[in-house]
Amino acid sequence: QKEVEQDPGPLSVPEGAIVSLNCTYSNSAFQYFMWYRQYSRKGPELLMYTYSSGNKEDGRFTAQVDKSSKYISLFIRDSQPSDSATYLCAMIRLNTGNQFYFGTGTSLTVIP
Amino acid sequence: DGGITQSPKYLFRKEGQNVTLSCEQNLNHDAMYWYRQDPGQGLRLIYYSQIVNDFQKGDIAEGYSVSREKKESFPLTVTSAQKNPTAFYLCASSIVPSWTSAGSYNEQFFGPGTRLTVL
């Protein structure tokens, strides 16, 4: 079983829709949870990060962590064509030298 | 401008050849990482280094080698022992984390990637 599971999609939505992206994980020692956005043929860039359980909002993006269910989500409101990218979840366990564990990424297309 | 550069952007290799991918950063980060990205598999860690002249194997180090002679540079060599090297290779760097206080976290910054194709 992979430590981090993510549905690869692809996901296709109309412009303005609310998008929900999710990851599950198996190790309860994960403490930091990140979402990266990767445009085609580019390196990933950090979108949001959260520490432990709870919600964090940044503009149209909301990151949610439920440690009891080992489940994290990224919500995108009022989706735009420029949001079309692959979204990768990532997480870190403490005391592992900043080693990241990535999901497989979900490919999102927002149709104008 | 501070950042991470990778070269070349595209690289073609014949079977049996070794090739070296370049990664340079001017962020003054101590830690550097190499990942491989394949469709449907996400990012897998090949090697990482937290300090000059020291590096550690990641999950898929077989068939790869690295060096860390300078803080700014972390080249990756894909050797002929790597049986399936065609992939997108990503280099990243970060400040070495301090875990002495709750909430410590250090972002990994990624380079633009090198796409390696074996002919």
Q: Where are the beta strands (DSSP E) in chain A?
A: 4-6, 11-14, 19-25, 30-38, 45-51, 54-58, 61-66, 71-76, 85-93, 100-102, 106-111
Instruction: Tell me the chain B residues in contact with residue A4 when contact means C-beta distances shorter than 8 Å.
Output: 42
Closest residue in chain A to residue B102, using alpha carbons only: A51
* Structure tokens belonging to residue B43: 């990012």
Which residue among B4, B42, B90 places its CB closest to the CB of A105? B42
Grade residue B2 by pLDDT with cuts at 50, 70 and 90.
Answer: low
Mind listing the pLDDT tens digit for each residue in A97-109?
A: 567 889 999 999 9
Find out whether A99 and A2 touch, Cβ atoms under 8 Å.
Answer: no
Q: Are residues A43 and B111, on separate chains, in Cβ contact within 8 Å?
A: yes
Q: Which residues of B touch A44 (CB under 8 A)?
A: 43, 90, 110
- Residue by residue, DSSP assigns B15-35 as TT--EEEEEEE-S--SEEEEE
Shortest Cα–Cα distance, B115 to chain A (Å): 8
- What is the predicted pLDDT for the residue at B100? 40
Question: Residue A33 and residue B23: Cα distance in Å, rounded?
Answer: 26
Spatial distance between the Cα atoms of B95 and B86, rounded to a whole number of angstroms: 30
**Mean pLDDT (chain B, rounded):** 89
- Angle among Cα B55, B59, B62 to the nearest 5 degrees reads 80
Min Cα separation B68/chain A (Å): 17
**CA-nearest residue of chain B to A31?**
B103
Instruction: Give the residue from chain A lying closest to B109, CA to CA.
Output: A45
Cα A99 to Cα A109: distance, rounded to the nearest angstrom:
29
CB B32 within 8 A of CB B98: no
- Predicted local distance difference test score (pLDDT) of residue B22: 97
Contact A98 B115 (CB under 8 A): no
Q: What is the pLDDT of residues A26-53, one digit of tens each?
A: 988 888 899 999 998 899 999 998 887 8
B111 CB neighbours in chain A (<8 A) are 43
Average pLDDT, chain A: 91
**pLDDT, tens only, B19-61:** 999 999 999 999 999 999 998 778 999 999 989 999 999 989 9
- The answer to whether A33 touches A24, Cβ cutoff 8 Å, is no
pLDDT, residue B102, reads 46
As a whole-number percent, the residues of chain A with pLDDT over 70 amount to: 95
For residue range B64-113, list pLDDT tens digits in order.
999 999 999 999 999 988 889 999 999 999 887 544 444 556 778 999 99
C-alpha distance from residue B115 to each of A13, B48, B65 (Å)? 29, 19, 17
What amino acid is encoded at A99 in this protein? Q
